[in-house]
């Protein structure tokens, strides 16, 4: 590997490891919540989310490999990771990648005090910023548009589930 490829390889590796770790946490939390009587909603659109994120990662890996890392966007990405940790820590065992309704009151602490959907806000920012770290402006635009379409479906399904189908 050339010396210039190392920073992009490390960034890409971080993205892949992070997403795989989150999937593991999400699966464990989902199993635990369902075992306690929670109910999943919106499962039909979940494969769209998986396909979007997998395509985004593959795109970054294929087209970002060996490209220079832009320090300003990397710094912004690091700040977003602090928000990610805050969101996951706030939700704890209730955090999952699926829409799981527990019947418990909604979380109103941490970033949920100020934002209704802080995790979606974070994902919107990450979908745009991560490709920009490697100078992939076209990927940031393309996947932001695709993500907006998927989130339109997702947030409607989640709001309906949380408000009893209304």
pLDDT 10s digits, 30-88 = 999 999 999 999 999 999 999 999 999 999 999 999 999 999 999 999 999 999 999 99
pLDDT in tens, 91-137: 999 999 999 999 899 899 999 999 988 999 999 999 999 999 999 99
Beta-bridge partner residues of 39: 101
CB 110 within 8 A of CB 86: yes
Asked if 40 and 99 count as a contact pair (C-beta separation under 8 A), the reply is yes
Domain ranges in the chain are: 5-162
The arrangement of secondary structure in 5-162, i.e. its CATH architecture, is Up-down Bundle (1.20)
């Amino acid at each position: 590997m050339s010396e210039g490829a190392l920073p992009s390889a490390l960034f890409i590796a971080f993205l892949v490891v992070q997403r795989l770790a989150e999937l593991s946490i999400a699966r464990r939390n989902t199993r635990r919540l369902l075992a306690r009587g929670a109910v999943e909603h919106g499962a039909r659109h979940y494969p769209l989310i998986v396909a979007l994120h997998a395509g985004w990662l593959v795109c970054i890996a294929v087209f970002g490999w060996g490209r220079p890392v832009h320090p300003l966007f990397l710094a912004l990405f690091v700040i977003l990771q602090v928000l990610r940790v805050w969101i996951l820590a706030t939700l704890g065992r209730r955090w999952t990648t699926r829409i799981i309704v527990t019947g418990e009151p909604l979380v109103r602490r941490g970033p949920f005090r100020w934002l209704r959907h802080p995790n979606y806000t974070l994902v919107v920012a990450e979908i745009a910023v991560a490709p920009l770290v490697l100078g992939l402006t076209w990927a940031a635009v393309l996947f932001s548009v695709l993500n907006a379409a998927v989130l339109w479906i997702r947030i409607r399904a989640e709001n309906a589930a949380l408000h009893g189908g209304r």
